[in-house]
Every structure is written in C-alpha cells, then in structure tokens.
Homo-oligomer: A and B are copies of this chain.
Amino acid sequence: MSLKLDKTVRNEHLYMEIYHYYRGLILNHKLLPGSKMPSLRKCAQELKLSRTTIENAYLQLAADGYIISKAQSGYYVTNIASRPDPARNPHTENPSACRYDFSSSGADRESFRFDLWRRYIKSALRQDERLLSYGEPQGEPDFRQALADYIRERRNVLCSPDDIVVGAGVQSLLHILCPLLKDKKTVSFPTPSFVQGSTVFRDYGFDVRYRNKDCGVIYVSPAHMTKWGEIMPISRRLELIRYAAEHDSLIIEDDFENEFVYLQKPTPSLHSLAGGQGVVYIGSFSRLLLPSIRISFMVLPESLRDAYLQKAACYNQTASKAEQIALCQFIRDGHLAAQTRKLKRLYSVKLKQLLTAVQEVFGKDSRIQIGAAGTSLALTLSVSLTGKELKEKAREQGLRIQILKESTDEVTVILSCSSMPVEDFLPACKLLNEVCSRFPVHRANTL
C-alpha cells in the first residue's frame, strides 16, 4: 500500500490528512471490514513520518468508529461503511446544525461549576469498598438523610430518610409508585405536555385525564403549572388538599422548578400544607445541577411507605451510586443551596432580557405570556403555517423552538432562556421573525 500525501501541509494537520485518507479508503470499501490496518511502525516507515503522527490518526479513526484496536494485535477496520448513513437517520440529528436553541431544557453553560462537581465525583470514586457492592434499593442511607435535611429546611417537608425513595429520574420513581396504587384507576395531569409521566400511568392501565380533580391520583407541579411558569396560588393549594382528602385521592406533588420562583416568595409545598398526609412529594436535580445527572427522589406518606417496604427488595436502585455519594456530600457542604441561589438570580435576569429582546423584535404589542417562575415565556405568532411546519422551517434556518399550541393562523411557541447565551437572544428572535414573515397571514378583511 502506498500513500500520496502532500508533505507541505503543516505538521499539526498531518495526522488529519492521514485520518482522511484512511477514512476514504474505508468508506469506499477499499479497506474491507475486518481487515487489519498496517502497523504503526510499518506505516510510519513507509510515509517517513513519526509514529506519533500515525498513532494520532489511528486514535482519531478509532474514536470515530472507523477502526477498532485489539490488544496486542493491532487495529482493524469496523463495519462502519456497511452501516446505514447516520445523517439519513432522523433519530440522530446533527446538533452542530443548530445555531440557536430556544427549545432546550438544558442548563446555562456558565452556571455549573464543573470543577467542583468533578472534585466530588472523584472523591466518591475513591470509596472503593462502597462501590464494590450493589446500592441500597431505596437509595444510599446517608444521601437520603441529606435529602431529608435539605427539603425540611427549604420546603418545610418533614420526613424521615426511611420515607424517601431515590431513583434515576421521575419515571423510575413512578415505575415503583404506580404498582402501589392498585386501587386507583384514574390520574389527572395539569396538561398533556408531561408525556414521560402520563406514559408510565398509561402503561400501568390508568385512565389519564387532564385538569380533572375527580381522579384517584392528582399529579401537579405547583411551581410549573404552565410552560411559561405560572405557579399555583396558596388558596388553590389549600382547596386542592381539602378536595383530595374528602375524595380519598392521592396528590403527587412534583416540585419541579420551585426554586425558580422569582416574582413572589415561594409558596409552601402541598406536602407541608397537608402535613404530609395524602401527598407524595417528588424532587429532582436535573434543572439545578446537570440535566445529565439522573437523580430524583420521592417522599412517601405513611400509608404508602409500608406497602413500599414490603416490595422494596424487589426493585434495584437505578441511580448511579457514585453520583449519589457525590451529591450527598455536595448538599452537606452547602453547594446545592449556593447553586440554587445562583441559578435563580441568573435565570431571573436572563428571562427579563429575553422578554426585552422579544418585545424589541416583535413589538410592544406582541402576545407574550410570562409567569412568576421558570425559564420560559410563551409567544403567540400570526403565521400561515401549522406548528409542525413552523418548527420545521425554523429548524432549516438553524433555530430550534418548541410548539405549545396552534389555531387557525396562529402558533404559540415556547422560548426557553435556560441554555442560550444572552447575546444570542436578539439574533435568534430576529431569525424567528424572519421565518414567520415569509409566511404572513392574509386575513379576509385586510384584502
């Protein structure tokens, strides 16, 4: 095999040349799946290049899945060329094509102290003995203690660590909770938008309804009643608790985004208002820490705790033990509280700036809905497209939006400020306006 390479390319790009050369051979089936790559030594000799350069090229090819290393043997071509083109697969989008992302519920890139979290994870990974065993099905005991202390202090939720069940996200908790509610047949959600929640209930045979208090289970997110952050007033909270108690319904309080209530004092949790009776309290950390940290927890009322304990050993813990250990100490050292204060300040400022940008681009009279909490606002646009079409047209321009609802000639979109840098607000809004103005509404009376 001989290689023709332009020797004048700059040295640091040399390995990428070699990378592209071999990549081409593999994709064009000149090098077949399973065949062995030339050894580093041989290849370096032939090309009169350093072994390091060749090795860098091979490592890059391996990282991208073109070749695979086999210990004490060498590199071999994978079957990547015979696989379907990932670009043609709608399930693996190319994220680099997205310039502005209003749809993300990810985190602000400046907000998270990666260095700090890495330190805690590193320290957790030093607890060799502890990591050698399976975790407690209910969640690590010290972590549950830290959680109990934290929610007692911040949300006035009084419970013992024995009442707390930890899981990898809200769905994992619902998978344990639903089978304990065999006598209930119906569940009410505030809106159809939380599909992850309603799916689990449906999978277990529940009849799912919306905004219907006459259900066996009432699922609410009092600090996130709508996508644009409306929160449930205290009078309605009390009313709901009374109604549920009278009808023997169970309330599931998903305290999502209670930390991001800006415009008023956070209202007391349903759990605290109800004295812990008839309420399952659910808390999560994906919005406070990293979305990629999958840890949630639920506080079971006495009536469900005993039923759970009888089955506890039947469920494996889903959350990473190392992450539980790390988060436990992170909370104890006060970092979660500090991070929450910081994010609350940050999102409050960002949301105001997003509002300013929207009003500047769409005019003072634009139809905006904004609540007392959260990281999003709702904007209603006049456009001769369906929601799906608008989303698609925006996507073509590198702009991602989330559709809330639509009617004739109108689409309401949700714009989230959480993961977009402030300096992008104005150009992103302008781009959205541009897309819309290409599809104006021709009203009958304006013709």
Contacting B at CB under 8 A, from A28-79, are 62-63, 65, 68-71, 78-79
A221 close to chain B: CB less than 8 A:
no
Cβ of A411 within 8 Å of any chain B Cβ, yes or no, is no
Chain A positions 101 through 122: 1 when the CB is less than 8 Å from some CB of chain B, otherwise 0 = 0001111010010100110011
Check B294 against A319 for contact (C-beta < 8 Å): yes
> Interface readout for A189-227 with B: 1 if CB under 8 Å, 0 if not?
000000110011001110000000000000000000000
Q: In the assembly, what is the distance between CA of A91 and CA of B126, in Å? A: 25
Q: Select one of B63, B132, B152, B329 contacting A112, CB under 8 A.
A: B132
Give Cα A129 to B337, complex, Å. Answer: 23
0 or 1 for each of A174-186: is its CB under 8 Å from B? (1 = yes): 0100110000000
Given A196-B315, A204-B203, A292-B131, A149 contacting B68 (CB threshold 8 A) = yes
How many protomers of this protein does the assembly include? 2
Q: How large is the interface on A (under 10, 10 to 19, 20 to 34, 35 or more residues)?
A: 35 or more
Per-position 1/0 for A310-324, Cβ under 8 A of B? 011111111111110
* Interface check A334, CB cutoff 8 A: yes
Binds B, one of A82-90, A237-245, A379-387: A82-90
Q: Is the CB of B132 within 8 A of A69?
A: no
- CB under 8 Å from chain B, chain A span 318-369: 318-323, 329, 332-334, 337-338
In the complex, A133 has a CB within 8 A of chain B? yes
A172 in contact with B168 (CB, 8 Å): yes
Q: A118-B122, A172-B318 are in contact. List 15 more A-B contacts (CB 8 A).
A: A65-B142, A65-B145, A70-B334, A89-B162, A91-B138, A91-B312, A106-B134, A107-B132, A114-B128, A131-B290, A168-B294, A199-B314, A292-B320, A319-B320, A322-B323
Per CB-CB distance, the 4 closest pairs between chain A and chain B, nearest first, are A292-B321, A168-B318, A179-B203, A199-B314
